[in-house]
A and B are shown apart, each in its own frame.
Chain A
Amino acid sequence: RKEVEQDPGPFNVPEGATVAFNCTYSNSASQSFFWYRQDCRKEPKLLMSVYSSGNEDGRFTAQLNRASQYISLLIRDSKLSDSATYLCVVPNYGGSQGNLIFGKGTKLSVKP
């Protein structure tokens, strides 16, 4: 099992739709999780951190299921500007500070 696995998509949804992505991780000792957003040919940017059961920020909700070792990202009322690749990230606890393990990303395309 890969350390961080994501469905690559693409997810093609209309504006206003609700869309959810899942990410599974292999290290049961992981305590913190992150979602990064990466626009085409741009740098990744931190979207949300998840330290306990979940986190909500406006239209975005991240949830953690420790028993099943997955985290999800829910986007409500999708906007055209939400089109991007969403990267699931877990710290590498065998490594140093900032040694993060990124998934391959899930591509979202929001259509008018």
Chain B
Amino acid sequence: GAGVSQSPRYKVAKRGQDVALRCDPISGHVSLFWYQQALGQGPEFLTYFQNEAQLDKSGLPSDRFFAERPEGSVSTLKIQRTQQEDSAVYLCASSLDNRGNTGELFFGEGSRLTVL
């Protein structure tokens, strides 16, 4: 596709529900990243995949958060037993290769999660 695509764009969940957020990276992009952006804050790193391998999950805030990219393309971020503090925009980004530290990340528009 032309850009990084995320779905759903908006999700409202009751506290305790599980949610799954999907990311379709730019075709051919090797690296995929998930970031969390709370209101009024900058994005915060969650996790990084190179192809299907999850090389860094140091930013995941708790074991309720789980991400996968089984075939090295589409990725899913799953949040179990959602809490109100999970309310944020979840941004997915991709880059062509492992040049993530060049800062050239292409972000999707995000999935806005509201936990009631």
Contacts and interface: CB of A to CB of B under 8 A. Distances in A.
B20 to A, nearest CB: 20
A99 B59 contact: yes
Interface residues of B, number: 30
A60 interface: no
Interface string A3-15: 0100000000000
A11 B91 CA distance: 26
Nearest to A42: B109
Contacts of A49: 102-104
Interface in A94-112: 95-105
Nearest to B38: A104
Given A97-B98, A99-B56, A43 B107 contact: yes
A86 to B, nearest CB: 11
Given A33-B103, A43-B4, A102-B42, 9 more contacts: A32-B103, A45-B107, A46-B104, A92-B45, A96-B100, A97-B55, A97-B98, A97-B101, A99-B100
Interface of A: 4, 32-34, 42-46, 49, 87, 89, 91-92, 95-105
27 contacts: A33-B103, A42-B109, A43-B91, A43-B107, A43-B108, A43-B110, A44-B107, A45-B107, A49-B103, A49-B104, A87-B43, A91-B103, A92-B45, A95-B45, A96-B48, A97-B98, A98-B100, A98-B101, A99-B48, A99-B56, A99-B59, A100-B100, A100-B105, A102-B44, A104-B40, A104-B41, A105-B42
Interface of B: 4, 31, 33, 40-45, 48, 50, 55-56, 58-59, 91, 93, 95, 98-105, 107-110
